[in-house]
Amino acid sequence: MSTMNISLPDSLKHFVDQQVTDRGYGTSSEYVRELIRHDQDRQLLRRLLLEGTSSAPGTPVDDDYFTALRKRARGQ
């Protein structure tokens, strides 16, 4: 694992420390890692949505489609 040092103004350092305490993180590093993972997820979702908007239209779905999907999910 690599190490990264960051500088924060006192107000942000206090905020991070408070989040660590209030939300049960062991360290500020855990909190920052979670923020980065959430940002990665957000960027992935954005990329997938943009890819979807530029793709060809799919087949329209109706109530029968969702009924069949529910049955398949239940293993019926």
| 29 SS3 class | helix
What pLDDT was estimated at residue 29? 97
Calpha distance 36→48 (Å, rounded): 18
Quick one: pLDDT at residue 58?
87
The pair of structure tokens assigned to 22 is 């209030």
**What is the structure's pLDDT at 76?**
78
Task: Output the pLDDT for position 62.
Answer: 95
Q: What is the pLDDT along the chain (76 residues), one digit of tens a residue?
A: 899 999 999 999 999 999 999 999 999 999 999 999 999 999 999 999 999 999 999 888 999 999 999 999 999 7
